[in-house]
Amino acid sequence: MRWKSLPSEIRAMILEILINSHTKSAQYASVCKEWQDAIERHNFHSLNLKPQDVLTITNIMAKRDLCLMKYIWYSIELPPCNYAFSRDIGRIQRDPNEFVRGCEELFVEYKAESQAAQAIVEDGICAMLRFLNGRPHDGDMTLDINIYSPSDSERFKHIRYEPANTLDPGPMQVASHGDADIPAQALMKLFAPTVFHNCDSTGSTSNGVYKFWNTLPQASCVTHLLLRRQTRRQWQTHALRQLLAQFPNLKELCVEPWRESMEAAQPLFDKYNAATFFKPLKSSMPDQLKRLTIFEDFNESYMISRINAPPNPRHDRITSIPLMRGLAEASLVLQHLSAAFIVNACQFWKVCKANWVWEQLLTLTLTSQALWPDNHPKNINDAIVEAAQVAKNMPKLQTMQIWNGRKGYAAVYRYEKGCHWAKITWRATWDLTLNEAAIAEWQKVAKVIVINCENELLGPVPIRSHGEAVTVLGLENVACPVSIRQIHREHLEMAN
């Protein structure tokens, strides 16, 4: 029987079985053109690459359709990091002079390590953009950039590096790594801002860095960019803005930065980030960008372990008004915005102007510090009313979610609108009755006679991390799903 004589459905089933059951399916590509197309479409769909692989993949793809590539997990490896520290941490925490001397020593090490890291990152970014420059803009393509040092996961056993398309492994297997008590100086190195750090206090880059970005080719094929929380070393926001300029057809951006663990330094970083990224965000975003996701991660163990950190870090983040103002302005031209922990919804509404109209916005998801169990129900209802008053200027709004969650509690207020129906839901680990004012305001938003109200009490469900809170609340598109699993697993392992 000839291959072509088989029905197309049968041929497709055979190829699917062949591809999924053979790790070396490429050897069958020479059977016929149909087999070759199916096997190459599978093998080149998702690639895990490092800078040293770029030349090889360039040669491999020279005679193939570059549009076969749909997802690239690009891992840039940095040299091993020296996490040892000679000074007595106890003396540093007690003696201000020792603290200053210790910081000076660390700074010298940081500078040398950062310069070496930056050169490697520059070469890696340049190599990938030159490779992608040859791929036409045809369909969607995701670039997932990961920057790491092998010594990170050796020193911090709870850290893992995984591609974003990793399948859910099912029930979580938790190991004990004893990482709960982490030396402060090790954390300072792990989170050092080594990614394009050459800039002054205004965010202006040096001539060398400017020349680097100015000479890079654009990658018009990239439509989705992921900068996930597993990269502990922080992207400077001025560099992030420059990076976005290299992807003119970018449609979705997911950034998962880390909160500054030294509380006193957070306002300084926020001021810089607002000036270099958030304030000019609306004007510097690619024209095609429709979805922006920002998930600011944190870990209480990191916060407690920092040098001279207070014994009880703040329960909530001190949010930045200039930062939120820039993000609010950017939301005017987006279809989807999710911002977690970096914003407080109650303050977000206050920076919005009364005459603003969100002509394109379909979904909006924000965290709100008003949603916590010990807050008075009236305060929570007032926050829900305030959200409705702004939502009236969002004519296409389909979903708004105001949520909060961390170890011990989780809550979400969700508004959903269909063609002929509307629903509001309170889902949380504690009960709340939505008052008449809140219901009436959201009825006006939905422009319906009757709005369905639901109250879902989660019951005695232990919330062990903010990652688990996201899962229990049924939140989607607030972060990469792999990141949410990582957060929860790390918290469990560090607690064991």
- Report the pLDDT value the prediction gives residue 99, as an integer from 0 to 100: 57
pLDDT at 172 over 70: no
Report d(CA 152, CA 137) in Å as an integer.
36
Confidence of residue 137 (pLDDT cuts 50, 70, 90): confident
Task: Answer yes or no: is pLDDT of 189 > 80.
Answer: no
| 326, 336, 339, 344 from 279: Cα distances, Å | 4, 19, 16, 17
Q: How does residue 105 score in pLDDT terms, banded at 50, 70 and 90? A: low
Whether pLDDT at 399 is above 70: yes
By percentage, how much of the chain surpasses pLDDT 70?
Answer: 74
Contact 365, 339 (CB under 8 A): yes
> Based on C-alpha coordinates, what's the Rg of the chain?
25
Q: Is the pLDDT of residue 476 over 90?
A: yes
- Mean pLDDT of all residues in the chain? 83
Q: What percent of the chain has pLDDT over 90?
A: 50
Backbone φ and ψ for 383, nearest 5 degrees, come out as: -65, -35
Q: How confident is the model over 402-455, as pLDDT tens digits?
A: 999 999 999 999 999 998 899 999 999 999 999 999 999 999 999 988 899 999
Q: What type of residue is 396?
A: K
Segment 345-369 shows an average pLDDT of 97
Please tell me the predicted confidence (pLDDT) of residue 203: 45
pLDDT for the residue numbered 481? 96
Q: Measure the CA–CA gap between 380 and 432, rounded to whole angstroms.
A: 9
Mean pLDDT computed over 82-94: 55
Residue with the larger pLDDT of the pair 218 and 153: 218
The model's pLDDT over 234-275, given as tens digits with 9 standing for 90+, comes to: 888 888 999 999 999 999 999 999 988 777 778 888 898 899
**Alpha carbon distance 456, 411 (integer Å):** 10
**What is the band of 119 on the pLDDT scale with cuts at 50, 70, 90?**
confident
Residue 312 has pLDDT above 50, yes or no: no
Between residues 219 and 462, the one the model is more confident about: 219
Q: What are 214-239's pLDDT values in tens digits?
A: 889 999 999 999 999 999 888 888 88
In this prediction, residues 284-289 reach a mean pLDDT of 92
| Phi, psi values for residue 7, rounded to 5° | -60, 150
307, pLDDT greater than 70: no
Tell me: pLDDT of 200 over 50. no
What's the first-to-final CA gap in the chain, in angstroms? 60
Instruction: Note the pLDDT of residue 272.
Output: 87
Going from N- to C-terminal start, the domains of the chain cover: 3-69, 70-343, 348-406+409-461
Question: 446: closest CA among 486, 398, 381?
Answer: 398
Task: Evaluate if residue 117 carries a pLDDT over 90.
Answer: no
Quick one: average pLDDT of 54-58? 93
User: Residue 356 — pLDDT band, cuts 50, 70, 90?
Assistant: very high
Is residue 306 within 8 A of residue 187, CB to CB? The reply is: yes
Q: Mean pLDDT over residues 4-9, rounded?
A: 70
The larger pLDDT score, comparing residue 43 to residue 286, is at: 286
Comparing 165 with 348, the larger pLDDT belongs to: 348
